[in-house]
Every structure is written in structure tokens, then in C-alpha cells.
């Protein structure tokens, strides 16, 4: 039972953590590549 709960938590944490890291990397890349403010950046709507 405990294994199952840990597995469920891992299944949620891994993709969410991946999403957070990707967002952070894109923000970092955006900050370095231009001087535009964060609000000017229109993120692509690829996850609808």
C-alpha cells in the first residue's frame, strides 16, 4: 500500500517538476537573450 502511494506521488512529482524546470529554463533563456520584460513575452499555446 505504501509502495503504491509513493508510486502515485512519484508519477505526479516527476512531470510537474519537469514542467517547473522547463519554465525556469525558458525564463532564464529569455532573460539572457533579450531585455524584454516578462510580461512582454507571449508563451506559445502548445499545451491546450
Partner 1 sequence: MGFGLIDFITISLAGGLIGFLAGMFGVGGGFLLVPILNIVLGIPMELAVGASACQVLGPATTSLLARKIKVRDLSFPLVITGGLLLGVIAGTSILEHAKELAAISINGKTIIVADLVVLVFYFLMLLGLGVLSLRSAHHSDAELTGAVFKDRFQLPPLARFPELFDGKISLPLIAWFGLGLGFVSGLLGISGGILLLPTLILGLGITTHRAITCSLVIVWIVAFQSTIAHAWHGNISIIIVIALLVGGTVGARLGSDLNARLKGLQLRKQLGWLLLSVALMIGTRLVFLLAG
Q: Which residues bind partner 1 (CB under 8 A)?
A: 4, 7-8, 10-12, 14-16, 18-20, 22-23, 26, 43-48
Alpha-helical regions (H) of the chain: 2-33
Cα pseudo-dihedral 32, 27, 39, 19, rounded to 10: 170
**Residue nearer to partner 1 on the CB measure, 8 or 31:** 8
- What's the closest the beta carbon of residue 39 comes to partner 1, in angstroms? 9
CB 20 within 8 A of CB 14: no
- What's the closest the beta carbon of residue 2 comes to partner 1, in angstroms? 14
Amino acid at each position: 500500500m505504501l509502495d503504491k502511494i509513493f508510486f502515485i506521488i512519484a508519477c505526479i512529482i516527476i512531470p510537474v517538476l519537469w514542467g517547473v524546470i522547463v519554465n525556469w529554463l525558458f525564463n532564464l533563456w529569455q532573460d539572457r537573450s533579450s531585455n524584454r520584460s516578462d510580461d512582454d513575452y507571449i508563451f506559445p499555446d502548445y499545451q491546450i
